[in-house]
Amino acid sequence: MAHEDQTFPRPVYDDDGNYTIRTGAIYRVDDLRIRELAEIGYARRDLEKAHQLIEACAQDDLDAVHPLLEESLCTAAVIMYAKPFGRNNARTIFKPDQLLKKLLKDEVLDVHEYVKRCRDWMIAHDDGLGETKSIGIYLPPSPPRSTLDMGLHFAGRRVVALGQDVARRLDPHFAQVRDLVRAHEDSRRQEIAAELLRSRFASMQVQGLATEERLEVDIETVIALRAAPSRLKRPE
């Protein structure tokens, strides 16, 4: 039985053309092609979740279940849909916006842009969309003599959810974009696998056996990351 080389990093084939892997396992690798495929998968996963959320948001009588349910589902659906198309410091290779512009008609891209604007201008930030910014002051018919004679007001009306009619219109769009990214993922997986075989895994470096990473998002851990900027992805 051949001795397993435990030296990492190393290529899949050495300089003499020998295959260096003796144990079948999942290995960590340094390779832009595999990174691209992973990033397509991240986007597809976000879009799958977004579609599940918008489907739920389109259901009848959500307020009868809980008064915040429709607002919560709508907010989550818009955020999850827009996530792959915004700034992502941990995703630098796959550009899903470019894929959509290449394959979708203008009227479909208009719906795509609508969802992104709702996220950017109304939900994640305040650019005045869906919320009145008019302000006012109550003045009495005679000169006020105390603060009780006047009233400082702002209208404060805002849209808290897009509504079931919009959710039902968005449902097929979310499904279409999800399916497009799914198909692109399947296509690129086949292309990348064929390229790796053809090139004998050229330029790929095996870093070691893959292990489960601990995912810590508790308050103390996240705050502690601010002391190590090189490990902290810049939030939006």
Look up the domain containing 40 and give its range. Answer: 32-130+162-202
Furthest-apart CA atoms within the chain: distance in Å: 101
Specify if 147 maps to a domain: no
Amino acid making up residue 174: F
- Among 34-48, 71-85, 149-163, 204-218, the minimum mean pLDDT is found in 149-163
Q: What's the pLDDT score for residue 189? A: 98
* Residue 25 covered by a domain: no
Answer yes or no: is 156 within a domain: no
pLDDT at position 10: 94
Of 81, 46, 94, nearest to 166 by C-alpha is 81
Determine the residue type at 39: E
| Residues 6 or more apart in contact with residue 149 via CB below 8 angstroms | 140
Which secondary-structure segment (H or E) carries 205?
A: strand 205-209
Q: Is 153 a domain residue?
A: no
Q: Are 29 and 208 in contact (CB under 8 A)?
A: no
pLDDT tens profile 111-165: 999 999 999 999 999 888 988 888 888 899 999 999 999 988 776 788 888 889 9
pLDDT band at 11 (very low <50, low <70, confident <90, very high): very high
**What strands, in cross-sheet order, belong to the sheet with 10-11?**
10-11, 205-209, 27-30
Q: What is the DSSP letter of 208?
A: E
Strand-strand pairing, 135-138 and 10-11: unpaired
What's the pTM value of the predicted model, to 2 decimals?
0.86
Domain assignment present for residue 187? The answer is yes
What is the domain count for the chain?
A: 1
Among 30-34, 59-63, 172-176, name the one with the lowest average pLDDT: 59-63
Read off the pLDDT band of 235 (50, 70, 90): very low
Q: Is residue 55 in some structural domain? A: yes
- pLDDT for 23 beyond 60: yes
User: What span, in angstroms and rounded, lies between the C-alpha atoms of 194 and 175?
Assistant: 29
- Measured distance CA(120)–CA(125) in Å, rounded: 6
Residue 152 lies in a domain: no
Nearest to 104 by CA among 176, 183, 188: 176
Task: State the pLDDT at residue 229.
Answer: 40
Closest CA to 9 of 195, 214, 165, 205: 205
Residue 88 lies inside a defined structural domain of this protein:
yes
